[in-house]
Chains A and B, each alone.
Chain A
Amino acid sequence: MMASTTQSLERQRSLWEFLREELRPKGPLLTPFNIISIPVILVGLVLVVIRFARGLGSVTNLNQAYPWGLWIGFDVMTGVAFAGGAYIITFTVHVLHAEKYHPIVRATVLNGFLSYLFYAGALTLDLGRPWHIINPIIGNKFGYNSILFLVAWHFLLYMASEFLEFSPVVAEWLNLEAARRFLNRMTLGVVIFGVTLSSLHQSGLGALFLFSKPKLHPLWYTEFLPVLFLVSSIFAGISMIIFEGTISHRVFADQIDPEHHHTFEDIVFGLAKGAAVSMYVYLFVKFVIFVHGQHWDYLGTKWGAWFLVEVLIFTLVPCALFTHGHRERRMGLIRWAAVMTLVGIILNRLNVSMIAFNWNNPATYVPSIPEIWITFMVVFCEIWVFRWVVLRMPVLREKPGPRPA
């Protein structure tokens, strides 16, 4: 058996030697992505130092009326919605046993885990007193009354769950067969726990704004915000899988078996169907909530127009594109639909947390250049780690066969 021979070969080298070798960069250093991302990350680190030395006001445009800006609105709110693919796919494969989607589980879980690690991790940059971040965990004090307390705990537990879901891959990479078997046996339990946590904190992010009734525009404020956030996280996650998968299959083409390329197309068509259905449901939920809120008169204002841009152009249109793309088997349409959906999710989360927030307040907030810069830094860091892992561990290639030398 091939697996056993590579295993015994592997054992002869020491683990440290192996790790040291793996830590070395692979592939050319001067790729366009590197040339852009390295300066962004280096300058971003300088900005982070300034932020901690001089306070949040030195790099951000946050103010007393806008305590939450881009780092919460995009990094946390949007990033977590984009990472929703992991709970959707693990639910589909491990709970519903839809084996068709098995080939994308590892990449999706990895992407989800890293998204939480980096985007939710970016939260520490936004905290004014980050050295107290441990307080709600160690009980100084447990703010049971707080939605944010719930979300913080869920982030932590869910990151652990996703790591456990991914850990068999790490064990495979390190050739720890016994550990892999042990971790594999935990998968179903961890997935069930993870799906429960995800449904609660995806909706919990919406619930954070239940307090914002006097501040958030009535077209966006509703007591059903948690439901909207949960349902939209489904197609946000699916669209992210399509988007990320499409890029991965080009960039890491050498990692993937030819036959896997073929099944990936079929997977994307299935995902498109899931996205179309969930968006259709979402649109109806949104419509019923709109009727319930009785805010017809706002539709004629500029806020109404902006609301319709989000709902019609960036939700209804991609829903139709997904439907048509699935029906006619047109991959191009589906990719466009995925990108438009992602834009729609960004719009929705930013509307709730920043744009339609304080609509009735003369104070303004526009993210500063350093805020945007650091956001890019966080995204690039995530991609770096994602690439590092994909090039070394059996994420896209399913088999623990020989690694590319």
Chain B
Amino acid sequence: MDRREFLGLAGAATALAATGTAAASGSTGTSAGAPEFVGILVDTTRCIGCRQCEVACAEAHGLPVPDPRTDEALAEHRDTTTTQWTVVNRFDTDRGEVFVKKQCMHCGQPACAAACPTNAMEKTHEGPIIWHGDRCMGCRYCMVACPFDIPKFEYMSPNPRIQKCIMCHDRLQEGKLPACVEACPMDALTFGTKRELMEEARTRIYNHPDDYVHHIYGEFEAGGTDWLYLAAVPFDQIGFRTDLGSDTYPDYTREFLYAVPLVFLGFPPLLYGLSELTRRREGGEE
């Protein structure tokens, strides 16, 4: 460890000690100086269901472009598909119609990336989860693992891909906003770092306590997601799962994976010892 690295670590440690709460999560391998996650805040109280985000998303990624004026897609609750990375659904609640945009939540510590045996699903350090076709072997374990059922597989293709929202990773690198955020006429979508978005969301709840349920979906769900949602009605009424727990998904397999090296160190000597202790004397055979 050279001097600069040491100073960097020491600085990070001081910063952590100062903020306090960050260190309390008990996570290991904190990456000092790494970029913070970006994400998008969806304020469902502002969404009017115009579906311009769907159109922009399809155009940005070369997918079939829907026609919101004629296709009556809001009549039913839709799931995302291999060719629709985001969909808007309408829910009838006791506070009227609520429109909810659905897409990949871009978990902070995602199950899909932890599940992938080839790291084809990659959580970029900036936040977006992207898919590498040159690595993926099509095992679909990411789909099994994802608590939101987001990765979609092209079953009818001999060269199938995993398709899902990538938070416009390519556009972000060019310095542009995600296509859906840019297209939204109601300012229902806000782009920023997760830290900024959390502050913005809390501010909106604080300033308009009667307009929102006092919960930010994505703050803790599945360990925290980069997409955050505000709503006027409880989230289980507008198509969200509220039973996902606040543990990160890699945590579920942590103990098993941590044990593997120990098993390799412990079992062979133990078995060898057993074999030695139960061996009969060479002379006494047959």
- Residues of chain A at the chain B interface (Cβ within 8 Å): 52-58, 60, 62-65, 67-68, 91, 94-97, 126-130, 132-133, 135-136, 140-143, 145-150, 152, 188, 192-193, 195-196, 199-200, 203-204, 207-215, 223, 226, 361
- Contact residues of B with A, CB < 8 Å? 79, 81, 111, 113-120, 134-141, 143-145, 147, 149, 152-160, 241, 243-245, 249-250, 252-253, 255-257, 260, 263-264, 267-268, 271-272, 274-275, 278-280
Q: How far is the CA of A147 from the CA of B111 in the complex (A)?
A: 11
Assuming A129-B137, A210-B253, is B118 touching A64 (CB within 8 A)? no
Interface contact B253-A211, CB-CB below 8 Å: yes
B263 x A130 contact (CB < 8 A): no
Which 6 pairs of residues, A with B, have the shortest CB-CB distance?
A128-B138, A57-B155, A67-B140, A149-B117, A129-B138, A67-B143
Are B135 and A145 neighbours in the complex by a CB distance under 8 Å? no
CB of A145 within 8 A of CB of B250, answer: yes
Q: Are B114 and A132 interface neighbours, CB within 8 A?
A: no
Across the interface, which residues of A come within 8 angstroms of B81, CB to CB?
64
In the bound complex, do residue A141 and residue B275 qualify as a contact, i.e. CB atoms below 8 Å apart?
Answer: no
Cβ 8 A contact of A147, one of B136, B137, B257: B257
Q: Which residue of A lies closest to B159 (CB)?
A: A129
B115 touches A188 (CB 8 A): no
Report the Cα distance A145→B250, complex, angstroms: 8
Q: Could you say which of B134, B139, B256 contacts A226, with CB atoms under 8 Å apart?
A: B256
A64 to B144, CA, bound (A): 9
| Closest beta carbon of chain B to A99's beta carbon, Å | 9
Give the residue name and chain of the B residue nearest to A127 (CB): B138
Closest to A152 in B: B117
The answer to whether B116 and A143 have CB atoms under 8 Å apart is yes
A64, A65, A132, A213: which has the most chain B beta carbons within 10 Å? A64
The distance in angstroms between the C-alpha atoms of A200 and B263, with both chains bound, is 8
Among candidates B134, B263, B268, residue contacting A140 with C-beta atoms closer than 8 Å: B134
Cβ contact within 8 Å between A52 and B155: no
The smallest beta-carbon distance between A190 and chain B, in angstroms, is 11
Given A129-B160, A149-B117, also A213-B137 (CB < 8 A)? no
User: A214 to B114, Cβ gap below 8 A?
Assistant: no
Contact of B117 among A68, A136, A215 (CB under 8 A): A136
Instruction: Tell whether, in the assembled complex, residue A127 and residue B145 are in contact, meaning their CB atoms are under 8 Å apart.
Output: no
Q: Closest B residue to A134 by CB, please name it.
A: B137
